[in-house]
Structure 1
């Protein structure tokens, strides 16, 4: 992927500028596909339920981290109903400001709002049961994604889980010059996961999304 990026600093700054111009709404977070939000959330719930509960190897429900959280769409619909506390991290301060009202009464259970790009974000060691990373890995270079996943691994509680949910290309790396991101294929994503010292516990394709968008896969890592 790095060979497709002329200048790393420009790659990140262009993405920041792009998101600063996006409306702080669900439709804005989903690139005009706000109608798929419920399908997305329901698919994510079904996936996550496999790992939560009591017993050996099951993931706790104390604290979750929403990466690339935007206005808190996933925090509101998926994470806050399942976890006692949720932290949000996003590169756009306006989105995090909006989240404080969008989340309503449940915002009181948000622990932290971190305004930071994931390439620079260092989650607290041993804090999280689940780290949810959705539609944001394309904004990281391969090396920065590996490093971020390693930091995430160190920030998990016992039996904690990292979940990546994102678009995957059919072959190779496909650049998007509009929002300054990259879409990787599954073999490359699996290589990155392995480089980070993580194992894929489960991998599924999200169903019932519009045919014109890239297929979306969800991976549970530990």
Structure 2
């Protein structure tokens, strides 16, 4: 009986030792976890302080920007942008008018060259009836036997538009259908073109020149439409 009781007491003692060892192990783990939590808390506190400092710096920066916005005149900027846009539109408008007008003057001068060729002495002496009739038809397409102007059709200043000083004419004083071109602008090319055309007309290919005149007419119509649109 006593032996059995002693065995039970010994078992209880051994179990108690195991529980004590397990308890110590748990306490050790708890201590380690508490240390880790403390480190994490320290990191969180440091991160929070950094965020707080960053927020304070941003708030100060925003306050400075708001102070600058209070003295910034937005309406003045809008007015400058509108004025700049208007100036760009005017610049494009005048560039278009000048380019189209110069092209139109070029067509008119080429028409004058063709008319001058068709009125030349060599062509007036044509003996072939069909070619003679074709010559008159081409002249009709160019507006008939008009007197050939000696100089190129170059826009010149009228007496009322001539400046009193050496300054140039401003676009506001310029006729939109007139462009100032030097008098010799077309002369050298004109003389070469007349001679080349006379050389080509030795065989007098009427169809080729009628096609040329029709092309010039179409170009003129397009240019007039472009000027009207602007």
Short-chain TM bin: under 0.3
Q: With structure 1 as the length reference, what TM-score do the two structures score?
A: 0.18
Q: With structure 2 as the length reference, what TM-score do the two structures score?
A: 0.18
Of structures 1 and 2, the larger Rg is shown by 2
- Which structure has greater helix proportion? 2
**Larger relative contact order (Cα-Cα within 8 Å, sequence gap ≥ 6):** 2
- Which structure has greater strand proportion? 1
